[in-house]
Chains A and B, each alone.
Chain A
Amino acid sequence: MLSKKQAKAFFLGGTILFSMIFLGLSFESVTISMPEKTNADQITDAVVRGKVIWESNNCMGCHTILGEGAYYAPELTRVYSRKGESYIKTVLMAEQPWAPRGRKMVAYNLSEEDANDVVAFFQWIDGMDLNGFPPEPDPSLK
């Protein structure tokens, strides 16, 4: 039967081994693959400003982006190609809570420049290679 000492060795050995593999793969992802797949070279100052607005207002507290966030408001990963620039700007610059179908967004009343930055952010996200997410709906079901 397994002894306590062997059990301990299994725990320590496994943890160290798999941590090393994980760190190695993460290093590859972060330095080589991800900059390429996410078009890191296209992150302009406008995109960064857009991200700051995205983050400081906690838009993720209602929406998902890259499939992460809250499940209360539309997924925004591909919103740039789905809705287009002017629709997005209308939503962001609205003075009253945006709610065409009853559920309310916060009225951010953004300036034109800020809205442009957020659009730049969405446009950059839109171009990412996400291994096929979001999935295409099945045309035979519609």
Chain B
Amino acid sequence: MKYKSQKVAYWFFALSMLLIVLQITYGFIMGFAHMGYDGLHEIIPFNAARATHNNLLVVWLLSGFMGAAYYIIPEEAQHELVSVKLAYIQLITLALVGVTAVIGFHFNWWEGRKFLEIPRELDFLVVINVLTFLGIILTTLFKGKKQSTTAMVLTMGLVFAALLYLPGMIWFDNQAMDSFFRWWVVHLWVEGVWELIMGGILAFLLIKLTGVDREVIEKWLYVIVGLTFLSGILGTGHHYYYIGAPEYWLIIGGIFSALEPLAFLAMALFALHMYRKGGRNHPNKIALFWTLGSAIVSFVGAGLLGLAHTLPSVNMYTHGTLVTAMHGHLAFWGAYGMIVFAMISYALPNLTGRKLYNNAMGMYGFWLSLIGMIGMTTAFAAAGVAQVYLERKVGLDFMVVQQEIEVHFLILILCATIFATGITLFIIDFVKYGQPTDEALNVSDDFEAIEATA
């Protein structure tokens, strides 16, 4: 750690860890409900569990991104954060808004729009919170000594993510319009500006972990985010096939969304290539695992499993089935979950001054969560394909089909247990690191420093 104010990042990461535990708990509640055990129905009906599961996911990811930005921006801009106090206030209000929203869901206080369930009153608080965050980041960046490409791409991603939250706040009488603009948030986030955030964090980690020249890494970063927008913006059309929008989206959405995996492929190849090219050995192996893992798994989950149902002729049958849930899990985990875990794994030793990396627990955490998530994806896939065939092809009733596929949710829960074990090990490691300290200030982990002490 080079700047005192970077310590704020730790608390955002800690909030992330707390919320992921809750998110997973609600995942189990839904898994059991799908199996026929909905004993909690009176207190936590399925829709409350789902809103909680999805919103906690978004909040812990955002908290992770914010922590990443508070860590990366001072280092890239060579300037302390302009206000640490404000950053802590922002952290606490973020947590409060999140918790209030989740409690509200259990009392039927929400907007019934998938992923955007947070009630309108709280939306305004979210906006203020995010503006505060952006204010701190932007002033630090522009007061700093330099504005590196990595920092600019990361910041641009965060700014656009905030802007794109707004179309989700407009009220429409027409359900189809509602859904049209809901995708400006949901799709343009995960297949657009969040990829900038991911790309920015990935570039930062690769610069730190492989020692490859910054100019080379940042050039490819531009190419990747260029590919992202080239395909992803018009790719929004893959959500406009069957919601009452015109037919030209079938062609435009089909072609451009089929190109979207290229950006993820580029990201995976880029990470692997830089790793090979680097040739220097950074001691923090576990951070490297999460970094490369994220680049590869996002290609499989978002790229390949997205491609699997993105053509209009396929999507006609898979639209709104468990096939979508299959893709949603591996894509979110690979692209955004794992990059947050990579950032945490990299930052913790530097923030706390304890070099606990490369212990067995960390490695088990990585592999168990990965294997568990792949298993969960497979279980959703089996359930989804069976559902599509029986319900949409054969024409059986929805509920009859659901009873047929209950067994896949048993497999889901078994695999989710493996996943949750991996996450638990990661969190135990997190706790073991202890809190950040100023003593870690002068311990550099740049290659020059590492090689000098080696």
Contact = CB atoms under 8 A, between A and B. Distances in A.
Do the two shown chains form a genuine complex with each other?
yes
A18 B229 contact: yes
Interface string A67-103: 1111111110000000000000000000001000111
Contact of A60 (B114, B248, B394): B114
Contacts of B189: none
B229 A132 contact: no
Nearest to B216: A4
A80 to B, nearest CB: 13
A62 B402 CA distance: 13
Nearest to B248: A25
Main secondary structure of the interface of B (DSSP, over half): helix
Interface stretch (B40-48, B200-208, B331-339): B40-48
B175 A65 contact: yes
A37 B408 CA distance: 38
A4 B321 contact: no
Contacts of B305: none
Contacts of A21: 233-234
Q: Of residues B226, B247, B393, which shows the largest number of chain A Cβ atoms within 10 Å of its Cβ? A: B226
B319 A37 contact: no
Given A29-B246, A71-B322, A134-B392, A7 B174 contact: no
B177 interface: yes
Nearest to B252: A25
A137 B112 contact: no
Given A14-B229, A18-B234, A141-B394, A70 B319 contact: no
A142 B176 contact: no
Given A60-B114, A71-B320, A130-B242, A125 B175 contact: yes
Nearest to B383: A71
Contacts of A141: 393-395
Interface string A1-43: 0111001101100110011011001101110011101101001
Contacts of A10: 222-223, 226
Given A15-B229, A102-B36, A104-B38, A7 B222 contact: yes
Range, interface on chain A:
35 or more
A71 to B, nearest CB: 5
Contacts of B177: 30, 34, 38
A142 B392 CA distance: 11
B398 interface: yes
A64 interface: yes
Contacts of B321: 71
Contact of B113 (A60, A135, A138): A60
A55 B111 contact: yes
Interface string B392-427: 111100111011000000000000000000000000
Given A3-B219, A22-B233, A70-B114, A142 B322 contact: no
A66 B36 contact: no
9 contacts: A10-B222, A15-B229, A37-B176, A58-B48, A66-B320, A70-B114, A72-B46, A74-B399, A125-B175
Which 5 A-B pairs give the minimum distances between C-beta atoms?
Answer: A61-B47, A137-B395, A67-B320, A133-B242, A58-B112
Interface of B: 30, 33-34, 36, 38, 41, 45-48, 50-51, 105, 108, 110-114, 117, 149, 173-177, 179-180, 182, 215, 218-220, 222-223, 225-226, 229-230, 233-234, 236, 240-250, 252, 316-317, 319-322, 324-325, 387, 392-395, 398-400, 402-403
Given A18-B230, A104-B41, 6 more contacts: A2-B219, A25-B249, A34-B177, A51-B173, A58-B110, A61-B112
